[in-house]
Amino acid sequence: MVESSVIASDMLFVRHPGNPMLAPIRWPYPANAVMNAGATLVDGQTVLLCRVEDRRGISHLTVARSSDGFSNWVVEAEPLMCPHPDHPEEQWGVEDPRVTRIDEIDGWAITYTAFAPGGPGISLATTEDFRTVRRHGLVRVPEDKNGVVLPRRVDGKWILFHRPTTVMGARSDIWLSRSADLDSWSSPEPVLATREGGWWDSARVGMGPPPLETSEGWLVVYHGVRQTVAGALYRAGLALLDLEQPAHVLRRSPEWVLGAQMPYELMGDVPNVVFPCGLTNPDGSDELRLYYGAADTCIGLATGSLSTVLSYLLSCPPGSGG
């Protein structure tokens, strides 16, 4: 029982009745899994950049579009990004994209995990139309994951959140790096750490979708992992970061807000996984649409109210709490 929260954390996001939104069985070409999708709005349409794992185990990224964000998905017949022969860091696949709309470049940044024998690192690409991409290459060397860029500069610099595996693999926390040009990045600063012991986010944490700018701060959805004898449990929690000092955590939800419950989240290639990578907030609306990978097999949608989520976070204890 968490006394400080006036709003129940498990009521903030409601699963769409049409879930799973996208699944390998409805894919236009053979796929083992469709999961962990970045999301954005393009001229009112929802664009998901989906991680598709083929039947070798190698992932690529494919675009799916929908006018209302939950039905009549049209999936491109060809991937947008496959592992590229000129990029050996992508040899074993491109995974877990996050998509950030950046008005300053009149386009989008795509950050993704580039997986190769050297381990997983973070690569960045940009696009103006989701039909062609320009690769900027590796921006954080292995072992690093869960890269995501803020939609605007802070204090003249771009901000990349990421999750390096540090201190001989002992810690997996969220850090940030800064850049003047999206290509060269400063050394990392700590942002949000795992909580110890029995906490739901004690083993690893990683940034989910691009944080959303709100009047109260950057709204963060992150994933937290707890290790159990039966395997890892991946769930989603919330935080608020200071708008001008994004390494400063203003609030953090003690409880997770979305965890595996439904059959498509409990069963699949990796059971008990909810892994959000996409968040949209249609212009002028209070609606949050959270797209998440379920059990490393399909994609789910959960919706919430921005004002309620912010009220909930403001009722959480200040700081990055444990």
Helices and strands counted in the chain (H then E): 2, 22
How many residues touch ligand BMA (CB under 6 A)? 9
Work out whether 233 is an interface residue with ligand BMA (CB under 6 A).
no
Q: Which stretch binds ligand BMA (CB under 6 A): 83-91, 209-217, 269-277, 299-307?
A: 269-277
Closer to ligand BMA by CB, 246 or 300: give it: 300
Given the complex with ligand BMA, which of 158 and 275 has the nearer CB atom?
275
Helix %, strand %, coil % of the chain (to 5): 10, 50, 45
The sign of the torsion formed by the CA atoms of 158, 211, 194, 249 equals: positive
Residue 215, by phi and psi: left (phi above 0), alpha (psi -120 to 50) or beta?
A: alpha
Q: Which stretch in 165-173, 246-254, 268-276, 279-287 sits in contact with ligand BMA by CB under 6 A? A: 268-276
Cβ atoms 81, 125 nearer than 8 A: yes
Structural element, H or E, at residue 311: helix 306-314
Q: Which is nearer to ligand BMA, 119 or 317 (CB)?
A: 119
**Residue from 163, 296, 298, 302 that binds ligand BMA (CB under 6 A)?**
296
Cβ proximity to ligand BMA, 166 vs 281, nearer residue? 166
Give whichever of 119 and 321 is closer to ligand BMA, judged by the CB atom.
Answer: 119
Work out how close the CB of 208 gets to ligand BMA at its nearest, in angstroms, rounded to a whole number: 11
Residues 135-194 that bind ligand BMA (CB under 6 A): none
**CA quadruple 170, 57, 131, 142: dihedral, nearest 10:** 20
Binding window for ligand BMA (CB under 6 A); candidates: 69-77, 78-86, 267-275, 312-320:
267-275
Quick check: 4 and 317 in contact, CB under 8 A?
Answer: yes
User: Which span (75-83, 99-107, 134-142, 270-278) binds ligand BMA, by CB under 6 A?
Assistant: 270-278
The smaller minimum CB distance to ligand BMA, of residues 163 and 195, is found at: 163
In the numeric block, the tokens 């004002």 are attached to 307
Residue of the chain from 95, 144, 173, 201 that contacts ligand BMA (CB under 6 A): 95
How many other C-beta atoms are found inside a 10 Å radius of the C-beta of residue 108?
24
Q: Is 275 in the site for ligand BMA (CB under 6 A)?
A: yes
Token pair listed for 197: 């012991």
d(CA 48, CA 72): 13
Residues near ligand BMA (CB under 6 A): 36, 95-96, 234, 270, 273, 275, 293, 296
